[in-house]
Amino acid sequence: MEQPESASAVSSLRPMWNYVDPQGNTRGPFPMSWLFRWSSFFDKDFKVWRTGETAEQAILLTDAFLMYL
């Protein structure tokens, strides 16, 4: 998956999101719009967390959609 051009830039208006892939690798950051486009590839219990937070603070992607889309 490709990285956003400004992957290192974090905006409080447009949070960037991370996740752990099936191989256990942390991926991201990505804008929510990208995760929404990829959502058919993720299980229903798939979790994400905002850049600046930890994996332990991850929330369900479906909940993140409700909050940010």
What are the pLDDT digits (tens) for 15-62?
Answer: 999 999 999 999 999 999 999 999 999 999 999 999 999 999 999 999
Containing structural domain, residue 29: 16-68
Residue 9 resides in a domain: no
The pLDDT value given to residue 7: 47
Residue 52 resides in a domain: yes
Residue 40 resides in a domain: yes
8 A C-beta contact, residue 17 and residue 46? no
1 has pLDDT over 50: yes
Extract the tokens encoding 29: 């950051």
The CATH number of whichever domain residue 38 belongs to comes to: 3.30.1490.40
b/e per residue 1-15 (b: at least 16 CB within 10 A): eeeeeeeeeeeeeeb
Q: Read off the pTM.
A: 0.79
Residue 1 resides in a domain: no
| Number of domains present in the structure of the chain | 1
